[in-house]
């Protein structure tokens, strides 16, 4: 029926196919390798962004500890503070001016 050569050849082909399938689709196979390499690239890009932010924060910390003009700038523009000899005027936008006896609506 089947010769021993045929059986050996078919079993070798089946074994190679199984090994090929395992190599590609197993837990640590080629598919996982490509997926993990893409994930690594994304993580490395995130790390680079975070390192840039850290560098900016370090620069800001340095300026806040050493540069009095920068401290004054931050106090005025981010916190709305004023020096002792300055006045702050706040304006109200989009407010209706009452006409006759109407009540003003903020």
Q: How many domains does the chain have?
A: 1
Q: Distance (Å, rounded) from C-alpha 75 to C-alpha 64?
A: 11
Q: Is 24 domain-assigned?
A: yes
pLDDT of amino acid 19: 85
Q: Is 88 domain-assigned?
A: no
Query: What does the pLDDT profile of the chain (106 residues) look like in tens digits?
Result: 668 888 888 889 989 988 888 877 777 788 888 999 999 999 999 999 999 999 999 999 999 999 999 999 998 888 888 888 888 777 777 766 666 666 655 5
Q: Is 86 domain-assigned?
A: no
Cβ atoms of residues 64 and 70 within 8 Å: yes
H runs (alpha helix) in the chain: 4-25, 30-66, 68-79
Q: Is 37 domain-assigned?
A: yes
Q: Is 85 domain-assigned?
A: no
Which domain does 53 fall in, by range? 4-79
Q: Is 99 domain-assigned?
A: no
């Amino acid at each position: 029926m089947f010769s021993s050569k045929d059986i050996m050849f078919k079993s070798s082909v089946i074994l190679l196919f199984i090994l090929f399938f395992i190599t590609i689709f197993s837990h640590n196979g080629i598919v996982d390798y490509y997926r993990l390499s893409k994930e690594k690239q994304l993580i490395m890009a995130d790390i680079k962004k975070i390192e840039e932010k850290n560098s900016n924060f370090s620069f800001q910390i340095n300026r806040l500890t050493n540069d009095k003009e920068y401290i004054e700038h931050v106090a005025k523009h981010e916190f709305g503070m004023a020096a002792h000899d300055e006045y702050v005027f706040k304006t109200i936008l989009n407010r209706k001016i009452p006409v006759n006896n109407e009540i003003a609506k903020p």
